[in-house]
Structure 1
Amino acid sequence: MRLSAVVVSVFLVFSSSVAAQQTFPYQLSNKVDFPVLGAGILTTGISIYLDRRVEPLLEEQIGILEIDKIFGFDRYSTRYYSNSAHQFSNVTALSSIAFPFALLLDKDNRAHSGELLLITLEGALINAGLINFTKTLVRRPRPFVYNGTAPLELKLKQEARYSFFSGHTAVSSYFTFAGAQMYNDIYPDSRHKTTVWATAAILPILTGYGRMRAGKHFPSDVLVGYGVGAILGVLVPRLHRL
């Protein structure tokens, strides 16, 4: 799956229903914008502080890790380590970011670009803050740390302790669900809503699958990341609805 193909297909779906738009459904409000932005800034600041206190795993610590202590559901990812799967997840995650911005193909939406961009930014900021805060707090070793085929130098890096939860999946889920929710609100009578929501649901699944096959995340990391991103993607636009 190439990034350009995904972006073009998403743009075509969004732009095919511009005639269905009704009254622009969103309005900015200090009562909503300041708390959401504040939460994103606060969690990001705390995560930066905690990140400085996270020490990489030592070779001795890696040597005593036991797969048997991992919940059976999560052992799936310890069998895999793949750079191609890592690149695949990068492509699907980047493709997901196009969703909200595809709405700007409609000239009527471009008149409200400030509102759309700020709503998207607010959710993206709090999503990123939650991702980084949780990673630096939990410090869960990634699946590849348990895999003998993964290079030791990678296991000894700080980021090898940032498995929970999956940032790629959460980012992918946030942007696709935010784009789908805004599409749903702006074009309530569109016949393409089912297609948009289905695409919004599938792209993060592909991203999460790539992260597991890359050995970067456990299934539980992916499930939590998917849920966090989806909830924020739906909730943040709804908080701004008229």
Structure 2
Amino acid sequence: MKSIFAAVLIACVVSINVTSQNSDNNSNSVYRVNKYVEIPAIGGLFVASFYGFRYLSDKGGLTQNELSSLNTKDIWWFDRWAAEQDAAKRNDFHHTSDMLLNGALALPVILGLDKGIRNDWLDILVMYVELHGINNTVYVSGASSFYRKRPFVYSDDVPLDERMAKETENSFFSGHASTSAAAAFFAATVYSDYHPELGNKKYWLYGAALVPPACGVL
């Protein structure tokens, strides 16, 4: 399963590089997108992601014996604080993280306010969807390869059935952080590419980079 994800990802990334270099040079668009190749690539990425998420949802949870042996002192010091947060607030943290994620996903929509970008909306949309297809595939590959426990399983205050539930070892790496990072950096990069006159001011756009770590922390 993991080798399939990797093969699809590599094939799609190679096709992106080749077609972006060899597409119509007479286009006035900032980007050159060969939709006849990119759209099938998107299909392949999302098919791989679909089966990948199904695989992740079937990963077994922790046993009661495994839970009883957990100790936050076994976690590296720079990560330990996550397992020592107030477990009673985990749903509030998750809700806030969801809101930040949804906000980041909507950032590229704001690009439509720019006339130049709006004229190339189809190319931008294809790139944006393809970006998330790649991100999903990378996330699935990581989460299926590493068994990293979610912080709340270390808390005795959390009901046992929740700590033993499936998908409690899919914590590497954060899907919220990677998805919000993809969306935020995409929006900043596209806008700066269409407005080279911004010069060094374009780096202010990357203030959007504050969203992904906030999602990951929460």
CA distance, structure 1, for counterparts of residue 190 and residue 37 of structure 2: 17
CA contact (8 A) 2:148 2:171 kept: yes
Q: Is it true that 1:164 corresponds to 2:169 in the alignment?
A: no
Post-superposition shift, 1:46? Answer: 5.2
Q: Matches of 1:171 and 1:109 in 2, distance apart?
A: 22
- Report how many residues are paired: 187
| Alignment-derived partner of residue 129 in structure 2 | 121
Q: What amino acid is aligned across from residue 203 of structure 2 in structure 1?
A: T
What is the CA–CA distance in structure 1 between the aligned matches of 2:92 and 2:158, rounded to whole Å?
14
Deviates more, 1:89-98 or 1:187-196: 187-196
Q: With structure 2 as the length reference, what TM-score do the two structures score?
A: 0.76
| C-alpha spacing 1:118/1:30, structure 2 compared with 1 (3 Å) | closer
Taking structure 1 as the reference length, the TM-score comes to 0.69
Correspondences of 1:12-51 after superposition (within 5 Å): 24-29=29-34, 33=38, 37=42, 40-41=45-46, 43-45=48-50, 47-48=52-53, 50-51=55-56
* Structure 2 residue 80 is the aligned partner of structure 1 residue 71: no
Compute the displacement of 1:58 (Å). 1.8
* 144 and 52 in structure 1: CA distance in 2 versus 1, 3 angstrom threshold: closer
Aligned residues: percent identity? 27
Aligned to 1:228: none
Q: Structure 1: give runs of 5+ residues left out of the alignment.
A: 1-22, 211-242
Larger mean Cα displacement after TM superposition, 146-155 or 166-175: 146-155
After superposition, where does 1:149-228 map in structure 2 within 5 Å? 149-190=157-198, 193-198=202-207, 200-210=208-218
The equivalent residue for 2:17 is: none
Retained in 1: the 8 A contact 2:180–2:212? yes
Q: 1:112-171 CA distances to partner (integer Å, 9 max, x unpaired)?
A: 111010000001111012112321221221111111222222212112121111010111
Name the larger-Rg structure. 2
Q: Which stretches in structure 2 are left out of the alignment for 5+ residues?
A: 1-27
Question: Are 1:143 and 2:151 matched, yes or no?
Answer: yes
Counterpart CA distance in 2 for 1:27 and 1:114 is: 11
> Contact 2:177–2:212 at 8 Å: present in 1 too?
yes
**Residue 203 of structure 1: how far off its partner (Å):** 1.4
Provide the alpha-carbon RMSD of the alignment: 2.3
Assess, with a 3 A threshold, how the Cα gap between structure 1 residues 30 and 106 changes in structure 2: closer, same or farther. closer
